[in-house]
A = this chain, B = another copy of it.
Amino acid sequence: MLQKPERLIVDGKRLDGRAFDELRPVKIVVGPLHRADGSCYIEHGKNKVMAAVYGPREVHPKHLQEVTHAIVRYRYNMAPFSVEDRKRPGPDRRSIEISKVSREALESVILKEYFPRSTIDIFVEILQADAGTRVAALNAASVALADAGIPMKGLVSACSVGKVDDTLVLDLSKEEDNYGQADMPVAIVANTGEIAFLQMDGHMTQEEFRKALEMAIDGCKQIYKLQREALLAKYGGLENE
């Protein structure tokens, strides 16, 4: 059990030395898996996340088929060893909620009508968890979708903003998450700036909310650059903007 630190902001700096609007280090690997149609591995701070995409492929059981568009499935799953106290395998209520809203965020960009009667399956495994897993998972899933060649209106890029010691800070660390006052994960579609994912836990004033949303969008844009670079590193020759 970590001890609650007396303060999370000391001398205008965060405990890990980051500026208020600074992301943790992010590493993105495109296509590390062989069986999946598309995949992505992301390290975001100490988070380690692997995403895979299968599809478009046939739907089983059949009664789930939709005649006008593909269905999208999303599974956010934590490995038993990903957290301090071993997690029992299988979905819990938190994972089920995260999977639902994450799926909806990606459905907002996937061109589902291109693939009637089929399914696009997105599986994300949290191999090590350290605050911000749902946004790391979305970022990995988004790249894995691109790697699988699934047509999308744009990449989804996600980032969270939080409030600690009455200060808004980008991309909460584990400690900031545990002892902070609010956490707001956001995802945008980078090319339009529209918001595809929005949740907020904790309390903040309406004024703070406005500022937090802006910070989060800036964070998402930083993430977008990293996603784009990673994809270009693999598919670089093909498109060159």
Contacts and interface: CB of A to CB of B under 8 A. Distances in A.
A60 B62 CA distance: 13
Contacts of A61: 63
Instruction: Give the number of times this chain occurs in the complex, counting copies.
Output: 3
A60 B64 CA distance: 13
A207 B117 CA distance: 59
Contacts of A63: 60-61
- Which bucket holds chain A's interface residue count? under 10
Would you call the interface of chain A mostly helix, strand, loop, or mixed? loop
Contacts of A60: 63
Interface string A55-81: 000001101000000000000000000
A60 B61 CA distance: 13
A63 B58 CA distance: 14
Nearest to A61: B63
Nearest to A60: B63
A63 B63 CA distance: 13
A165 to B, nearest CB: 39
Interface in A19-73: 60-61, 63
A164 to B, nearest CB: 36
A60 B63 CA distance: 10
A7 to B, nearest CB: 41
A78 to B, nearest CB: 22
A63 B60 CA distance: 10
A37 B208 CA distance: 48
A21 to B, nearest CB: 45
A110 to B, nearest CB: 27
A67 B60 CA distance: 19
A61 B62 CA distance: 12
2 contacts: A60-B63, A61-B63
